Structure 1
Amino acid sequence: NLVLGTDSICGDDFKNDCNTQVCPSNDIPDGWEGMDAGPETRKAFAAAIKGAKTILWNGPAGVFEFDNFAGGSKAIAEAIAEATKEGAFSLIGGGDSVACINKFGLADQVSYISTGGGALLEAIEGKVLPGVAAIEA
């Protein structure tokens, strides 16, 4: 199943303390930008994670560096930690995702963390990574 976000927390400026509103993700007003997953999207993502056997998280759900826009990423991190506790294998990949899981204090509640984001995805695709190829040569 492919779960896409249906709503977003939008801001009228790219800063933590801007004005905010919840908007449908496909209808963000001019002058506003989607900066976090909205409340319905958070529920949908958490429901998709619950009961999963394998989880790969590669990329935050919003501008998690701003506390007012970190809720979507935190909801995902908490759902992954809970699923891991229930037996799922969870892999967090990429520098921003690692920063998220660390920000929320949940790094010790997931199975594996890799700072490689794009490289991790390429390895999963089966592509030969240049560093690995050099070692194997």
Structure 2
Amino acid sequence: MVFSQVKSTASPPMPGGKTFLIACLFAYASASVFAAQEPDYFSDPILARTRVNIASTQVSPTALGDILALIEKQTGIELIYLDKRIPLTDRILVESDANVSLAHLLSSITTLTGVTFARHDRKMVVRIPMKAEAKIRITKNLLTDK
């Protein structure tokens, strides 16, 4: 067998080349778009199916910490968070039916406070994304979803 070496006139893409630059720009733009989107709690069948009775929170604005405790008590899902990173004393009013899906409630809380939730089996991590901290609407006493 005879092997001959063929030299290509085209150079392979280099880290500093146009192809690499375009790939980096695309990756950066995609990451920015995904980071700006709110979580889709309705795509999680457990969150969409689980119901929470929030009638007691509809009488007057309720502290976020009390709503999180209500979620734990009614669903059996353990919420994991750092007290000093979550605005537990912010008072919110979710204007909806008294009996809502957990997905709806979490979506409202995310809209009102910037707090996000990620479920893993029977535990849910509660946090504020770094960029969201600067975007949270700050009011004196009340946050509402309407």
Give the TM-score band, short-chain normalised: under 0.3
Which of 1 and 2 has higher RCO (CA within 8 Å, sep 6+)?
2
TM score, norm. by length of structure 2: 0.20
Normalising by structure 1, we get a TM-score of 0.20
